[in-house]
Structure 1
C-alpha cells in the first residue's frame, strides 16, 4: 500500500488520479477489517505459532536446526519472530514489494551465508498450515501469499 501510494503520488503529479488508479485503495479499504483481524490474531498467538511450527519441523527432520556449529534453534526463533513480525505488518499495510526489497532480500543473504536455506524453506512450507489454525479462511487467503513470498525468497 505504501509503495503503491508513493508510486501514485509520482505518477499523478499535477493531475487528478483516475478511478482505475485509485482502485487499489478501494480494494485495500474493503479488506482492511480482515487484515486487522488477522494481524491481531497472529500477534496474540505468535509464541504458540512458533512452537507449533518448530514441533512440526522437528517431526519432518530432527536435524533441521543443526549445522556445523551445532544447534541454532535460538537463532532460528529470533529470526523467525522478526520475519513473522514483518510478514504480519505487510499483511496489515498490504505492501509485499516493500517486504521483499526491505527485509527478505537482506535476510536471504544471511540465510545463504549460514546455510539456513533448507530450514527457511521448510519453515515457510509448515507455517501456512499452522497459521490457518488461528485465522479464518478469508484471513488466511490474505496472509498465505506473504508466507509464500517468504518461502520463495528465503528457500
Structure 2
C-alpha cells in the first residue's frame, strides 16, 4: 500500500485521483483490521514460529544447516527472523513490492554469494505449514501471498 500511495501521489500530482486509482485504498481499508490482527499474531508468536521453523528445517534436512562442518543455524535463525519481520510488515501494509525489492532480492544475492541457498529453500517449503499453525484461516489468507513471494524468490 505504501508503494501504491507513493505511486498515486506522483501520478495524481496536480489533480484529483480517480475512483479507479483509489480502489486499492478502499480494498485495503476493508482488510485493515484483519491485517492488524495477523500482524499482532505473528509478532506475539515470533519466537514460537521461528523455533518451529528451525525444528522443521532441521528435521526435514538437517544437513542444510551446515556449510561443510560449520553449523550455520545461528545465521539461519537471524535471517529468518529478519524475513519474518519484513514479511509481516509487507502483509500489514499490503505491499509485496516493498518485500520483493526491499529485502528478498538482496537476500537472494547474499545467500548465493555465501553458498547457503539450501537452508532457505528448505525453509520456503516449511513456511506455509508453520504459518498455518499459528494464524487462523482468515489471517493466513492475508499472509499467503507474502509466503508465496518468499517461496518464489528464495525457494
Cα deviations across residues 84-113 of structure 1 (Å, max 9, x unaligned)?
A: 000001111111101111111111111101
- Give, in whole Å, the separation in 2 of the partners of 1:74 and 1:59: 16
Q: How does 1:9-48 map to 2 (within 5 A)?
A: 9-48=9-48
TM superposition score normalised by structure 1: 0.96
- Give, in whole Å, the separation in 2 of the partners of 1:60 and 1:134: 20
Runs of 4+ in 1 over 4 A off after TM superposition: none
Q: How does 1:1-155 map to 2 (within 5 A)?
A: 1-68=1-68, 70-155=70-155
Farther-moved stretch of structure 1 (38-47 vs 114-123): 114-123
State the 1:114 CA deviation: 1.4
State the 1:122 CA deviation: 1.4
C-alpha RMSD over aligned residues: 1.1
Q: Name structure 1 gaps, 5 residues minimum.
A: none
Farther-moved stretch of structure 1 (16-25 vs 60-69): 60-69
Q: How many positions carry a matched residue from both structures?
A: 155
- Give, in whole Å, the separation in 2 of the partners of 1:144 and 1:67: 30
Cα deviations across residues 44-86 of structure 1 (Å, max 9, x unaligned)?
A: 1111111111111122112010112511000100111011000
- Give, in whole Å, the separation in 1 of the partners of 2:146 and 2:47: 19
Tell me which protein shows more helix as a share of its residues.
Answer: 2
